[in-house]
Structure 1
Amino acid sequence: MPDGTALDRTKLLAARYRAATDRPYLASALYSLTVVPTAAVPTMGVDRHWRCYVSPAFVDATPVQELAGVWIHEAAHLLRDHHGRAGRLPAADQRDHARINLAQDCEINDDLIADGLPLPAGRVVPGDFGLADGQLFEAYLPGIPPQPHHDCGSGAHGRPAPWDLDGKAGPCVSPVEAEALRRATAEAMRGHERARGHLPGGWRRWAQEVLEPTVDWRRVLAGAVREAVAWAGGAVDYTYRRPSRRAPALRGAVLPSLRRPLPRVAIVIDTSGSMGEDDLAAALAEVTGVLREVGVRGDRVSVLACDADVQAVTRVASAEQVELGGGGGTDMRVGIAAALAQRDRPQVVIVLTDGYTPWPAEIASCRLIAALVGDAPPDPPAWVETVRLGPTPGRPT
């Protein structure tokens, strides 16, 4: 080493072995870290390639049990994809990597301390800033004032550190391998909890999010609507309003040209007594917004309010123009049949419902999307494209 201090590799690796033995669900992640000795790092730090930069002086001064906690702390930065999440922060926040690192350490250390892990002096916890335990670093960040802080490396805050090696220098873990490690670790945590019955709350939440990620229903619904509209709009028809470009080659003949008309869309809204107004308003606003983006608007969109019968049929350009009526029983078959019986037959039908309704017995002659609201709506027939919206935040379940 430049400062003449040699790394006590035996002590460092003994600490990693202790960490992996005491918490076997972290073993794969811990042993995927490549050790890089350097006097440039103040303690220990990681980069996004799963290289762990280690100060020999820090290893000499730190007991093995505390080194084991630091190993787990650094692995947690990578397992929780802190550098990736930091890259999604607003640009102004990204520039203050010391505050980001502090917030990330708060997210990790409260879990490690609750798990009984000793950490070196100087570690930070949410209580140091008057913040509650158990939050993600994005929630902690606004409550942390600017101040100096030791650097856990680019694998934490995402900004290049002075000691970082070139991306391809030495062993490294690829992004695909990192995702596989995260999933394997989450599965090991779930197995450990079933066998031993104990897992820190932060790790339990993290494992659940990795294995059962929360999907933004707005993005799913928007994708389904866009795809259905593109599918219907891909149909072509012949028109004589605009002559074919091949017509000049055939004297005396008028050739039609092909056109791609915008599809007509019907939105069938379940207005039965079991539906919540907040759910309907949120879903309808998303649907009409997507239709507006793809150019389907005005008289090409019809909305049918339906419980056990069709209460109203309107042509709308925005969600504010919809008037919902009903409040009785539920039978979306009536609404779907009425939509398809319109003079301007729709190519896409979107049904907003809680799912407690009969469905048609056969595949509809159009693209049919069911947007299901509520906690646990029953499944529609397999041939119906389904998007589960879940409960509206803040609404009692």
Structure 2
Amino acid sequence: MELDRTKLLAARYRAASDRPYLATAMYALSIVVSENVPTMGVDKNWRCYVSPAFVARTPVEQLAGVWMHEVAHLLRDHHGRASRVPTRDHHRVNVAQDCEINDDLITDGVPLPAFRVVPGDFGRSAGRLFEEYLPHIPPTKGDHDCGSGAHGHAAPWETQEGPAVSPVEADAIRRQTAEAMRAHHKAGGTLPRGWQRWAGQLLEPVVDWRVVLAGAVREAVVWASGAMDYTYRRPSRRAKAMPGVVLPSLRRPLPRVAIVIDTSGSMGEAELATALSEVTGVLREVGIRGDRVTVLACDADVHTVARVTRTADIELAGGGGTDMRVGIQAALTAPDRPQVVIVLTDGHTPWPEETPSCRVIAGLVGDTPPEPPAWIEAVRIRPSLPDSSAG
């Protein structure tokens, strides 16, 4: 069967017009006609293999969705990530990858063929990475194959025909696409959370947030400790030169630290517990503990701030939003006013309009938290991937 190239290119044009941030990537794909590929697939070199029969029987709007699906495998570096999962069943990997892509496309209102798979087919919730879906995908019959551009294994229908995109060029395309997505989102356009997460992780340096958070806390403590004062509890050694005169010595007091925690229902308990553990661990290392650390929990009603004496007493409330200004104000008006305030939140909160007379660090939990004011030192605490081992 001869390929209806006009229909295929019309579908790509529609996809690029509907989702312009994907246009550069989709037009970087070279087309290879193959009667052996079941539908459409991609290899690691950005060749798109197309079945003429599939094009003939598929409506243009669904073909546009397939274009978006296939290029998503390459943009998200699925073949590179697949090499790091402990399973040889690349068909299962492919199904898990399709779940990662399709939930975004469907949420975005993109029509897809009826044979598409989604996380709900396996009892899983949307918005996860394929590494998280993989343990829940049963063995397949081996007929699910988007090509080496997805799972990393060369499919029988792959050839060396057509132009290839080098790894360096592919990285440039990914970065350009991520920048286009970010510009689209900032301009008020809609963007699925999966694409938001991908673009954010690509454009920002991949640094272990624990290291960044620990460094920020240590630096703030050192800054606060620099506020030296005089004390008569320990006479100055210079007093020997002036008999009969008691001179005070300089002391470097340990600062007080307040940890303000967002306990609204939107917070993830595991990530919050990890972040709090990191903060308290760093404070212990620099000698700040006991009554020099205050933990305040803002409840979901945003009206109440409770002082917590043990981190184990912190409870996450369900539903509602929160206002971290309440917690910050409560910390700063307490008798034991802190010199450092550490806020753990998902960022969906108003912030004080004026800069407090202390150091403020915000540990932002989640994938795409809003930016806080410039005077707040922000550390993004991204959730780590669970163990993706599969049997």
Q: Sort the TM-score into its range (normalised by shorter chain).
A: 0.5 to 0.7
- Does structure 2 retain, via aligned residues, the 8 Å contact 1:47–1:156? yes
Match of 1:152 among 132, 137, 146: 146
Larger radius of gyration: 1
Match of 1:205 among 179, 182, 197: 197
Alignment of 1:192 onto 2:192: no
| Alignment correspondent of 1:18 | 14
Match of 1:42 among 22, 29, 38: 38
Match of 1:67 among 63, 66, 70: 63
Match of 2:287 among 305, 310, 326: 305
Match of 2:207 among 215, 219, 242: 215
- Does structure 1 retain, via aligned residues, the 8 Å contact 2:35–2:52? yes
In 2 relative to 1, CA 12–214 (structure 1 residues): closer, same or farther, beyond 3 Å? same
Q: Distance in 2 between matches of 1:61 and 1:392?
A: 43
Number of residue pairs matched by the alignment: 263
5 Å matches for 1:339-358? 356=340
Match of 1:327 among 292, 299, 320: 292
Structure 2 residue identity aligned to 1:152: C
- CA apart distance, 1:326: 6.9
In 2 relative to 1, CA 201–325 (structure 1 residues): closer, same or farther, beyond 3 Å? closer
In 2 relative to 1, CA 82–392 (structure 1 residues): closer, same or farther, beyond 3 Å? closer
**Secondary structure of 1:57's aligned partner:** helix
| Alignment correspondent of 2:105 | 112
Match of 2:172 among 177, 180, 202: 180
In 2 relative to 1, CA 304–279 (structure 1 residues): closer, same or farther, beyond 3 Å? closer
- CA apart distance, 1:67: 0.8
Alignment of 1:124 onto 2:112: no
Structure 2 residues without counterparts, runs of 5 or longer = 215-253, 261-275, 295-337, 342-359, 365-371, 385-391
Q: Distance in 2 between matches of 1:89 and 1:328?
A: 42
- Does structure 1 retain, via aligned residues, the 8 Å contact 2:45–2:164? yes
- Does structure 2 retain, via aligned residues, the 8 Å contact 1:110–1:133? yes
**Secondary structure of 1:274's aligned partner:** strand
TM-score (norm: length of structure 1): 0.57
In 2 relative to 1, CA 378–54 (structure 1 residues): closer, same or farther, beyond 3 Å? closer
**Secondary structure of 1:305's aligned partner:** coil
When the two chains are superposed, the root-mean-square deviation of aligned CA atoms in Å is: 3.7
5 Å matches for 1:270-281? 272-274=256-258, 278-280=277-279
Structure 2 residue identity aligned to 1:190: R
Cα distance per residue 1:93-128 (max 9 Å; x no partner): 2x0111111111111111111222111121111111
**Secondary structure of 1:99's aligned partner:** helix
| Alignment correspondent of 2:325 | none
5 Å matches for 1:75-114? 75-90=71-86, 93=87, 95-114=88-107
Report % sequence identity. 61
Q: Distance in 2 between matches of 1:47 and 1:208?
A: 25
In 2 relative to 1, CA 392–26 (structure 1 residues): closer, same or farther, beyond 3 Å? closer
In 2 relative to 1, CA 151–390 (structure 1 residues): closer, same or farther, beyond 3 Å? closer
Higher RCO, 1 vs 2 (CA within 8 Å, ≥6 residues apart): 2
Q: Distance in 1 between matches of 2:168 and 2:211?
A: 24
- CA apart distance, 1:202: 2.1
Q: Distance in 2 between matches of 1:328 and 1:162?
A: 62
TM-score (norm: length of structure 2): 0.58
